[in-house]
Amino acid sequence: MSEEWIADRMHQIDASGIRRVFDLAATMTDPVNLSIGQPHFDTPQPVKDALCQAVQEGRNSYSQTQGIAPLLKLLQDDVDERFGHSDRQAFVTSGTSGGLMLALCTLLNPGDEVIVFDPWFVMYRHLATLAGANVVQISTYPDFRICAESVEAAITDRTKVILFNSPGNPTGAVASKEEVQALAELAAKHNIALISDEIYRSFCYDGDFHSPAEFNDRTIVIDGFSKSHSMTGHRLGYIHGPSTVIQQMLKLQQFTFVCAPQPVQWAGLTAWELDLSEHFSSYGSKRDLIVSELQEDFQIHGGQGAFYLFLKAPWGTGTEFVTEAIQNNLLIIPGNVFSPQDTHFRVSFAAEDETLRRGAEILRKVAKQG
């Protein structure tokens, strides 16, 4: 039977709960959709024009594995200006998800341990599993703060990587400078690779963003254009970190993704020069709107960045609450997609204001049914 051909590792990876919600959405009539994990504005027109131009000009072949020279220079100059490290190299990846896979497969041996913060972005656990590693969970409930003491207590002689995400998905939490610095210094102290997923760094509403690379020059940073420029389908990301590690990731990219799509890289040059600050600030207003609509009926923590709230179900499990919400034509994501706990659910406020109001009305209605 063909089932016997399937590798054991695949049985340790579940189908995405988010994809199941998307599949359900396709069967619903005009659902109120607060499940989306991407900006609700379209890719800016200049970026689309630049992409079309690159295709028409014949820039359709493979690029160098590390990326086209003009984009690579922009990224490297920015990294050098922000951090000033003597050994920090950037290269272009096929999306941040591709970059994350490269990083984990480059750093992890079977049996190594990866520390992740619960709740986490759904891909972290599965990619660590793919690399043969074991995931060690550090709970951040109920307020989604990072406690360096808890991290240090979880470190063993098998700990190889700490995987950090701020602003966070699904919580929208933004780690404070003190939290970030403590984590960065802890990783340096124990000689553990620290991977910082910074794809949402443009979306901070209540204070400044801080990267652990400010405090630990060996931090490996994953970033990209997907969220900041609404280019999720274009698959344009980048990584920067110590050159020894980066060279190994490049070797792996050469034999997996090969390169990011070349026309998209040329479009990235145009995207880099755009001022999208109005879009970013508009999400701060949307956050304020959804919080004001829900704060009387839900406990609200996080939400300082990205475009998510991770709310505790006021009755039942997270899955039971989400099931009832879906029956009321509202699409949201159950928290057990992101966590072993089934107590919360994720709401995205990347939507038109009227959609947010309609969704909040349904959430208040469902909350009162418990």
**What pLDDT, in 10s, does the model give residues 338-367?**
999 999 999 999 999 999 999 999 999 999
Task: Tell me what pLDDT residue 10 has.
Answer: 84
The domains located in the chain, with CATH, are 2-43+276-367 (3.90.1150.10), 61-273 (3.40.640.10)
Q: pLDDT tens, 111-167?
A: 999 999 999 999 999 999 999 999 999 999 999 999 999 999 999 999 999 999 999
Q: What share of the chain is helix, strand, coil (3-state, %, to 5)?
A: 45, 15, 40
Cis-peptide, bond into residue 119, ω within 30° of zero: yes
Residue by residue, DSSP assigns 227-267 as TTTT-GGG--EEEEE-HHHHHHHHHHHHTTT-SS-HHHHHH
Check pLDDT > 90 for residue 11: no
Check pLDDT > 90 for residue 49: yes
Q: pLDDT tens, 303-336?
A: 999 999 999 999 999 999 998 999 899 999 999 9
Confidence of residue 24 (pLDDT cuts 50, 70, 90): low
Q: pLDDT tens, 163-189?
A: 999 999 999 999 999 999 999 999 999
Q: How many CB atoms lie within 10 A of CB 74?
A: 17
Mean pLDDT calculated for residue range 47-66: 97
Task: Tell me what pLDDT residue 22 has.
Answer: 63
Mean pLDDT calculated for residue range 104-108: 97
